[in-house]
Copies of this chain bind each other. A is one copy, B any other.
Amino acid sequence: MAAFIEPKLLKGFRDFLPPAEMIRRDLTEKIEASFRSFGFIPIDTPALEYAEILLGKGGGETEKQIYRFKDNGERDVALRFDLTVPFARFVALHQAELTFPFKRYHIGKVWRGENAQRGRYREFTQCDFDIIGSDSPAADFEILLMIRAVLLNLGVNVTIRINHRGLFNRFLAHIGQREKSVDVLRTVDKIAKVGYDETAGALAAITGDTNAQKILDFTAAASGETFEETLNHITELSGGPSPESERLCLLRRFMRDTFDDNFILDPSITRGLDYYTGVVFETFLTELPDIGSICSGGRYDNLAGLYSKNTTISGVGSSIGLDRMIAALESLDKLPATTSYTAAAIACIKPEDSGLYQALAQQFRQKGVPCEVFLEAPPAGTADSADSKQLVKQFVLAEKKGLRWMIIPGADPLRDPLTLRDLAGRQNRAGLSLAEAVQIINSN
């Protein structure tokens, strides 16, 4: 016999017990239903890829976080750390097989060996959605609308803060700072995290004091103004109307034609990632803004450029982190309350009748009542009545499992009348036919 092994988990990794896993499934199913209702379709990619492919666009920080190793064939491989890079590789490999515009979603686990602080895990679930092969503003808008729809479907209200990196760059060109764009946008991206003063200092170091002030004025244009006012303001600051300001204008028209109360034009939103080239956005919970953006994204010019020499595929997309979303819903006391997938259990009176109990359960299921069978009768002798000690133990177990009803079969389980125990009300209804029991369960 082997020695005892301590059953411990790796730091930053989690087991999900049924109550937590049922919540995860419930939320994932809701998110997926929203994606599907907009015509998005799923893909999947391997957890493990060549390290070269996953690290292609990453810098030093990615390299430190990634789970990378040599496989048994001495290949340099790594676990995916997001779903965007595998998607770029996927599109380069399969573009001939896809129908464009291609609207896909991908829900899956990703792994990052970063410091596991509170709420930061090394294994977590991402829900990505993108439209590629369309430059249309209608595609930008559909992604924004889907974010709204997905989150409303989870029971929360959101504010989506939108900007256009192209317009920001046009403004930087207007003040002669276009070549500093990468550094400026990255610095502005951190303003909510590090504060105004530190950002001002950092911008001054990059562009000089005067330009830093102009940039801060540009990013502050949203304060207290309507979408239209902010748009006019930053259009002016960037040298007048342009294709980028026209696109924002069109997005605003789309909002007015559908829902216009969830969107804010906020020139301080820039997203740190270099591959965004157009509209960018972050999503905040109206009731819990301090948790930060729970769904960010934007438009990019050339998704698969690193893996495909001949094609340029542009698109727009976004991602929801399931774990952060769950933490937010928990804070708001809005987690789904699933405790069981079944409403009722058949009590076990005589273990040798278990086949008949299964047949009875099958009849309930066929009438739309998901129904479990209890497998053991606690050793308390024969049951004389529906309230015997033997049954009480089963009632306790059923309550622990989150069931509402207990079905107590008669001596001939498929023919004799049934007794229905309401575990919430602690009451029995005896002498019921199957149809009557089904009716009571379904109407409660």
Contacts and interface: CB of A to CB of B under 8 A. Distances in A.
A109 B79 CA distance: 13
B359 A257 contact: yes
A108 to B, nearest CB: 9
Interface stretch (A3-11, A183-191, A426-434): A3-11
A94 B18 CA distance: 11
Given A47-B123, A136-B375, A362-B258, A41 B22 contact: yes
A9 B342 contact: no
> A-side binding surface: helix, strand, loop or mixed?
mixed
B77 A10 contact: yes
A87 to B, nearest CB: 10
Interface stretch (A62-70, A155-163, A197-205): A62-70
Interface stretch (A97-105, A164-172, A210-218, A283-291): A97-105
Interface residues of A, number: 111
Given A4-B309, A72-B113, A375 B142 contact: yes
B308 A48 contact: no
Contact of A358 (B93, B145, B345, B400): B145
Query: What is the copy number of this chain in the assembly?
Result: 2
A36 interface: yes
5 contacts: A5-B306, A7-B89, A21-B41, A67-B71, A99-B401
Interface of A: 2, 4-11, 13-18, 21-22, 24-25, 36-50, 52-53, 56-57, 64, 67, 69-73, 75, 77, 79, 89-90, 92-94, 97-99, 101, 103-104, 109, 111, 113, 122-123, 131, 134, 136-139, 141-142, 145, 250, 253-258, 304, 306-309, 340-342, 345, 348, 351-359, 361-362, 365, 370-373, 375-376, 397, 400-401
Given A99-B401, A138-B357, 10 more contacts: A15-B46, A16-B43, A18-B42, A37-B371, A47-B109, A136-B354, A138-B348, A254-B358, A257-B358, A257-B359
